[in-house]
Structure 1
Amino acid sequence: MTRFLFSIFVFSTVFISAQNLKSPSEFLGYELGTEFTRHHEVVDYYEYVAETMPNMVKLTTYGQTNERRPLLLAYVSSADNITNLENIRQEHLKDTQGDGGNASKAIVWLSYNVHGNESAGTEASLQTLYELLTSKRSYLDNAVVIMDPCINPDGRDRYSNWYNQYKNKPYQVDPNSKEHNEGWWSGRSNHYMFDLNRDWAWLTQVESQQRLKVYNKWLPHVHVDFHEQGVDNPYYFAPAAEPYHEVITDFQRDFQVTLGKNHAKYFDANGWFYFTKEIFDLFYPSYGDTYPTYNGAIGMTYEQGGSGRGGLGVITRIGDTLTLKDRLTHHHTTGLSTVEVSSNNSEKLNSEFRKFYKNQNFRYKSYVLSGNQDKIEALKKLLGKHNIEYGTPSVSSVKGFNYQTGANGSMSVPKNSLVVSTNQTKGTLVKVLFEPKAKLSDSLTYDITAWSLPYAYGLNAVASTALVSGQKSEVPSISNTITGDTYAYISDWNSMQDARFLAALLKADIRVRKADHPFSIQGKSFSRGSLIITKGDNQNKPDFIAELSRISKEFGQELTPSNTGYVDSGKDFGSSYVQMITKPKIAILSGGPTSTLRFGEIWHFFEQQLHYPITVIDSDYADKVDLKDYHTLILPSGNYATHFGEKQLEKLKNWVKAGGKLIAMGGAINGIDGEKGFGIQKKKLEEDSTANKPKPHKNSQRERIKNAITGAIFKAKVDHTHPLAYGYGNAYFTLKLGNAGYEYLPNGNAVYLEGENPRPISGFAGSEAIKKVSNSLLFGAEQVGQGKVVYMVDNPLFRGFWENGKLFFANALFMVN
Structure 2
Amino acid sequence: MPLRRPGRPAVAALLALSAALASRPAVLAAQPPIGAAVRDSLRDDRAFSFEARGPYRPAVPRPEALLGYRLGDRNTQYAEQERVLLAIAAAAPERVRVEEIGATHEGRRMRLFVASSPENIARLDEIRRDLDRIADPRAGSAAEIDALAARTPAVVWISESVHGNESPGFESGMQLLYQLAASDEPATVAALRNAIVVLNPSSNPDGHERFSVWYNSVARRDPANQSFEHDEPWSIQGRFNHYRFDLNRDVIASTQPEVQAIMRGMLRWHPQVAVDQHGQVSTYFFPPAARPVNEHIGAESEKWLTRIGRANAAAFDRYGWQYYVRSYFDLYYPGYWDTWPSLTGATGMTYETDGGGWKGLLWEREDGSKLSFRDGIAKHWVSAMSTVEATAAGARERVADYLAFRRRAVEDGRAGRVRRYAFSSERDPLRAAELAAALLRAGIEVRRADAPFQSARAHAYGQGTAAGDAAAARRFGAGTYVVDLAQPQGRLARAILEPAPVLDPEFQRLQEQRFARNQRRGSAGFKEQYEFYDITAWSLPVAFGVEAWWTEDAAPVTGALLALPDAGRPGPALASATAGAAAPIALTGPAASTFSEASPGSELLAAPLGGGVTGGTRAQSAYVFGPERTNASRLAWQLLAHGVRVTVVTDSTEAGGRLWPRGTFVVRTSRNDTTVHALVDRLAREAGVEVTPVASAFTERAKLGIGAEQVVALKRPRVAVVGDEGVSQTAFGALWWTLDRRYGVDFTHLNWRSMPGALSRFDVVVLPDAYGVGDFVGKDAVDRLKAWVRAGGTLVAMGNAAAWAAREDVGLTTARRVGEDAKPDTAGKADSARAARARADTSAEARELLAATSPGATPDAAEWLPGSHFDVVLDRTHWLTYGYEQPRLTALVTGDSFFRLSRDGSNVAVFPARGPMHRAGFQWPGNTERLMRNAALVLEEPLGGGHVVLFGNDPTFRGWWRAWDRMVLNALLLGPSF
The answer to whether TM tops 0.5 is yes
Q: 2:872 — aligned with what?
A: 716
Q: 1:82 — aligned with what?
A: 121
Q: 1:739 — aligned with what?
A: 896
Q: 1:762 — aligned with what?
A: 920
Measure the CA separation in 1 of the matches of 2:916 and 2:900.
15
Q: Contact between 1:715 and 1:761, CA under 8 Å: does it hold in 2?
A: yes
Measure the CA separation in 2 of the matches of 1:339 and 1:221.
11
Q: Contact between 2:663 and 2:882, CA under 8 Å: does it hold in 1?
A: yes
Measure the CA separation in 2 of the matches of 1:379 and 1:159.
33
Measure the CA separation in 2 of the matches of 1:23 and 1:770.
60
* Residue type of the alignment partner of 1:376: A
Measure the CA separation in 2 of the matches of 1:281 and 1:431.
19
Q: Contact between 1:757 and 1:774, CA under 8 Å: does it hold in 2?
A: no
User: Given the alignment, which residue of 584, 602, 605 partners 2:738?
Assistant: 605
Give the superposed CA RMSD: 2.3
User: Given the alignment, which residue of 197, 202, 206 partners 2:248?
Assistant: 197
Q: By how many angstroms is 1:686 displaced? A: 5.2
Measure the CA separation in 2 of the matches of 1:476 and 1:40.
40
User: Given the alignment, which residue of 772, 779, 786 partners 2:931?
Assistant: 772
Q: Contact between 2:618 and 2:693, CA under 8 Å: does it hold in 1?
A: no
Q: 1:730 — aligned with what?
A: 887
Q: Does 1:436 align with 2:499?
A: yes
Deviations 1:524-543 (A, max 9, x none): 2211111111201213xx42
Q: Contact between 1:715 and 1:760, CA under 8 Å: does it hold in 2?
A: yes
SS of the residue corresponding to residue 253 of structure 1 reads helix
Q: 1:10 — aligned with what?
A: none
- Answer with 146-155 or 19-28: which moved more: 19-28
Q: What does residue range 235-274 of structure 1 map to in structure 2 within 5 Å?
A: 235-274=284-323
* CA spacing shift, 1:477–1:786, aligned 2, 3 Å: closer
* CA spacing shift, 1:660–1:623, aligned 2, 3 Å: closer
SS of the residue corresponding to residue 198 of structure 1 reads coil
Q: Contact between 1:132 and 1:139, CA under 8 Å: does it hold in 2?
A: no
Q: 1:676 — aligned with what?
A: 810
Measure the CA separation in 2 of the matches of 1:552 and 1:699.
66
Q: 2:639 — aligned with what?
A: 505
* Residue type of the alignment partner of 2:625: S
- Answer with 458-467 or 201-210: which moved more: 458-467
SS of the residue corresponding to residue 471 of structure 2 reads strand
Q: 1:4 — aligned with what?
A: none
* Residue type of the alignment partner of 2:271: P
Deviations 1:620-658 (A, max 9, x none): 333432x22111111111121322211111100111101
* CA spacing shift, 1:483–1:209, aligned 2, 3 Å: same
Q: By how many angstroms is 1:311 displaced? A: 0.3
* Residue type of the alignment partner of 1:496: T
SS of the residue corresponding to residue 528 of structure 1 reads coil
SS of the residue corresponding to residue 594 of structure 1 reads coil
Q: 1:565 — aligned with what?
A: 697
Measure the CA separation in 1 of the matches of 2:339 and 2:725.
33
* CA spacing shift, 1:182–1:478, aligned 2, 3 Å: closer
Q: 1:492 — aligned with what?
A: 626
* Residue type of the alignment partner of 1:88: I
Deviations 1:605-634 (A, max 9, x none): 111111121111122333432x22111111
TM-score where L is the length of structure 1? 0.93
Q: Does 1:803 align with 2:937?
A: no
Measure the CA separation in 1 of the matches of 2:225 and 2:56.
43
* CA spacing shift, 1:284–1:417, aligned 2, 3 Å: same
Deviations 1:111-136 (A, max 9, x none): 00000110001111111111122132
* CA spacing shift, 1:496–1:279, aligned 2, 3 Å: same
Q: Does 1:423 align with 2:556?
A: no
- Answer with 594-603 or 703-712: which moved more: 703-712
Q: By how many angstroms is 1:214 displaced? A: 2.2
User: Given the alignment, which residue of 390, 403, 406 partners 2:461?
Assistant: 403
Provide the identity percentage: 29
User: Given the alignment, which residue of 427, 438, 441 partners 1:382?
Assistant: 438
Q: Contact between 2:866 and 2:922, CA under 8 Å: does it hold in 1?
A: yes
* CA spacing shift, 1:633–1:706, aligned 2, 3 Å: closer
Measure the CA separation in 1 of the matches of 2:280 and 2:917.
34
Q: By how many angstroms is 1:518 displaced? A: 1.1
Q: 1:282 — aligned with what?
A: 331
Q: 1:551 — aligned with what?
A: 683
Measure the CA separation in 1 of the matches of 2:475 and 2:864.
38
Q: By how many angstroms is 1:56 displaced? A: 1.0
Q: 2:22 — aligned with what?
A: none
Deviations 1:402-455 (A, max 9, x none): 211222232442342222110123211111111121110023431111111221
Q: By how many angstroms is 1:478 displaced? A: 4.9
Q: What does residue range 67-216 of structure 1 map to in structure 2 within 5 Å?
A: 67-98=106-137, 99=140, 100-101=145-146, 102-103=148-149, 104-133=152-181, 134=183, 135=185, 136-168=188-220, 171-185=221-235, 186-216=237-267
* CA spacing shift, 1:570–1:791, aligned 2, 3 Å: farther
Measure the CA separation in 1 of the matches of 2:538 and 2:491.
15
TM-score where L is the length of structure 2? 0.78
Q: By how many angstroms is 1:570 displaced? A: 4.2
Q: By how many angstroms is 1:758 displaced? A: 7.0
Q: 1:589 — aligned with what?
A: 722
Measure the CA separation in 2 of the matches of 1:234 and 1:758.
45
Work out the number of aligned pairs and report it.
794
Measure the CA separation in 2 of the matches of 1:382 and 1:528.
31
* Residue type of the alignment partner of 2:469: A
Measure the CA separation in 2 of the matches of 1:465 and 1:770.
31
- Answer with 207-216 or 42-51: which moved more: 207-216
Q: 2:767 — aligned with what?
A: 635
Q: Contact between 2:862 and 2:931, CA under 8 Å: does it hold in 1?
A: no
Q: 1:785 — aligned with what?
A: 944
Q: By how many angstroms is 1:320 displaced? A: 1.3
Q: Contact between 1:182 and 1:308, CA under 8 Å: does it hold in 2?
A: no
* CA spacing shift, 1:34–1:776, aligned 2, 3 Å: same
Q: Does 1:321 align with 2:374?
A: no
Measure the CA separation in 1 of the matches of 2:862 and 2:200.
40
Deviations 1:324-350 (A, max 9, x none): 111111110110011001111110111
Q: Contact between 2:610 and 2:690, CA under 8 Å: does it hold in 1?
A: no
Q: Contact between 1:56 and 1:76, CA under 8 Å: does it hold in 2?
A: yes
Q: Contact between 1:200 and 1:288, CA under 8 Å: does it hold in 2?
A: yes
Q: By how many angstroms is 1:798 displaced? A: 0.4
Q: Contact between 1:587 and 1:614, CA under 8 Å: does it hold in 2?
A: yes
- Answer with 606-615 or 247-256: which moved more: 247-256
* Residue type of the alignment partner of 2:249: R
Q: Where in structure 1 are there 5+ consecutive unaligned residues?
A: 1-14
Q: Contact between 2:655 and 2:706, CA under 8 Å: does it hold in 1?
A: no
SS of the residue corresponding to residue 795 of structure 2 reads strand
Q: Contact between 1:398 and 1:413, CA under 8 Å: does it hold in 2?
A: no
* CA spacing shift, 1:699–1:150, aligned 2, 3 Å: farther
Deviations 1:70-108 (A, max 9, x none): 212111111121121111111011012222231421111
Q: By how many angstroms is 1:401 displaced? A: 2.7
Measure the CA separation in 1 of the matches of 2:862 and 2:503.
16
Q: 1:461 — aligned with what?
A: 548
Measure the CA separation in 2 of the matches of 1:48 and 1:802.
42
Q: Does 1:310 align with 2:359?
A: yes
* CA spacing shift, 1:22–1:477, aligned 2, 3 Å: closer
User: Given the alignment, which residue of 271, 279, 300 partners 1:228?
Assistant: 279
Measure the CA separation in 1 of the matches of 2:706 and 2:376.
67
